[in-house]
Each structure stands twice: as structure tokens, then as C-alpha cells.
Amino acid sequence: MLSGLSPSGAAPQVLFMALALGAVGLVQFFRLQRRRRVMEDMPTARIRSAAQGYVELIGRALPPDAPLFSPITRTPCCWYRYKIEKRDDDNKNSWSVQEQGKSTTQFWLDDDTGRCIVDPEGAEVRARSRNTWTGAAAQLIPGTSEVLMTGDSDHRYTEHLILPGQTLYALGWFASLSPLQASAHEEVRERIAAWKADPQKRRSFDANADGELSMAEFEQLRQQAAAAVEADRRERAALPQTHVLKKPKDRRLFLLTTEPHDDLGGKLRWQAWAWLAAGVLGLAYGGAGLMMLV
């Protein structure tokens, strides 16, 4: 953009644009380098033994408990992002976005030592499975062998997918949730309140059917509620912990990608150096031009 212009003859607006490009280039260089170093320096944790906090996980993506389908092609998936664009009437080479969106449904990550719920809300997702097409596309109707053609030449369709079974690399905040989150005392209080609010349950403790619970009747309700809570807690204590990977509360990177880990690191490296080159050229060009104007 700047190679055909001499700094001495450039308009001030062009020089300031060059300086702005230079500043953006330097910011992007440090941003991408920081991301690459985080990915390269972070050891891969195992779900079964992962520490609480910021971790790197690698495993197989598994679909949500309820089937999830992409909106355009109805492909079974773990996550999707889509965009539908319409060709502009006046400029056939220009497109405007008509509809777009992405899934926020939680899905699973399995690394053979355990399973972890992945909450994709707020994640930067790089999906290796992505398609863009214009016009009609073949769409397999789920559960059948029938194919339906959808779309037209005035629309462009883009779909990014994380498919079941794909290797998923994840950087995010790892938390293990105990089956016994609330205290026994709190659970007993909630159980008592629920039973008292339930007319049928309340009547079962009203021995004299006067519509009120005497102290003795209430004590019987309390004892049975405590016994029921204790039995429930014993059952839940035997259940495994639930692990969740989600967006960190601070500004650290939350990344989900099905691109190979080494390939992504290499891509970030050359992108960072490309931005640095653009930044240095922009600052040199803009700085030289402003010096000549002074």
C-alpha cells in the first residue's frame, strides 16, 4: 500500500495512517507472540489429575447429552458457528450479512483419564472443519439416507464445526465441582421449607388434621427431612466430581481449537512476524514523512 508512494510527497492523512498501521502492527506482534508462548510453555494436564485453575487439555470432543445439529446443513456436531450472506443488488461482488450465530451448548472433552464439560461461552474457537459455498448445497436429512438441496446463488453460506471424535486442544479455567456443594444444614432447611410448602406433604404430618403443625408434629417433619437429606448425601458422595472447563475470570486466553497444536503455533509465529514487518514499515514511512514536513 505504501511502496508506490514517496514519504516526501505523501499527504499528512496518509502519513498518520501509516503511523497507525505501525502501532497496530506492534500491538498485534506482541499479542500473537504472547499467545504462542502461552501455548508452548503450558504443560498438558490430564483431566483426572488436573489442578484447579488455568490449564491446557487435549482430548476427543464428544457431543452434548442432547443432540446438537448445525443450523444450515443439519450436521451432528459438538459446536458450530455459521453465517449467511446475501449478494448486494448493486455490486455483485459485495456481500452483506443476513444472519449469523454460534452455539453455546456445553459439550464433552475426553482424554482417556476422565471427562470434562466444556462451556464454549466466551471462547475463541478455531475449527478445522469449515466450509463456504454459494448456491444450493446437498443436505443429508438426519436419520435417513435422503438428501435435500438447499440454498440459492444469491446467498453465501459459511459453517465452522467441531465434530464428534475430533482432537480438541483447549486452554481455559478448570474447576471440579463436588456432588456435595451445599452444607447438610442448608439442605435440611431447604427440605423442611419445601415440605411445609407442599400441602399434601404437610397434611401427612398433621396428625390431628387441624391445619396447623404442633411442635411435636413439626419435630417429626424435621427429623424425617434430616434423614432424607442424609440418605441423599450418602448417594451423592459416591458420585464422581464434575469437571468443567470455562472462560477465565481474568483476561487470559480461552481457546478451543481442532487445528493441530504445532500447526497453530507455527501459524501464530509467522503471523506475528508479518505484523511486526508491517508495523516497522508503517512507522518508518510515517515517521520519515512527518520529519520532512517539519
* Per-residue pLDDT tens over the stretch 52-101: 999 999 999 999 999 999 988 889 999 999 998 888 877 767 888 988 99
**Cβ neighbours of residue 142 closer than 8 Å, sequence gap 6 or more:** 69, 74, 76
| Domain that includes residue 139, residue range | 7-178+241-293
Chosen domain end from 212, 237, 262: 237
Q: Give the mean pLDDT of the chain.
A: 81
* In a domain? residue 267: yes
CB atoms under 10 Å from CB of 78, counted, come to 28
Quick one: 19 and 91 in the same domain? yes
* In a domain? residue 215: yes
Mean pLDDT of 118-125: 94
Quick one: 118 and 73 in the same domain? yes
Residue 264 has pLDDT above 80, yes or no: no
* C-alpha span between 171 and 257 (Å, rounded): 9
* In a domain? residue 2: no
155-192 pLDDT, tens digit per residue, is 888 999 999 999 999 999 999 876 556 677 888 888 88
Quick one: 262 and 118 in the same domain? yes
* In a domain? residue 247: yes
Main-chain dihedrals φ then ψ at residue 78, nearest 5 degrees:
-95, -30
Domain total in the chain = 2
* C-alpha span between 283 and 294 (Å, rounded): 16
Quick one: 70 and 123 in the same domain? yes
* In a domain? residue 123: yes
3-state secondary structure of 53: strand
**For position 58, what pLDDT does the model report?**
93
Distance of CA 10 to the CA centre of its chain: 45
* Angle, alpha carbons 159-160-164 (nearest 5°): 120
Q: For the chain, what percent of residues have pLDDT higher than 90?
A: 28
* In a domain? residue 1: no
Quick one: 18 and 147 in the same domain? yes
Residue 117 has pLDDT above 90, yes or no: yes
Quick one: 127 and 211 in the same domain? no
Quick one: 35 and 52 in the same domain? yes
Region of poorest pLDDT, from 6-15, 52-61, 208-217, 238-247: 6-15
* In a domain? residue 159: yes
Quick one: 112 and 223 in the same domain? no
Chosen domain end from 200, 215, 237: 237
Residue 251 DSSP symbol: S
Do residues 251 and 210 lie in contact, with contact meaning Cβ atoms separated by under 8 Å? no
Quick one: 14 and 155 in the same domain? yes
- Dump strand ranges (E) for the chain: 53-62, 79-87, 95-102, 107-110, 115-118, 124-126, 129-134, 137-140, 147-150, 155-162, 167-177, 242-246, 255-257
Quick one: 128 and 220 in the same domain? no
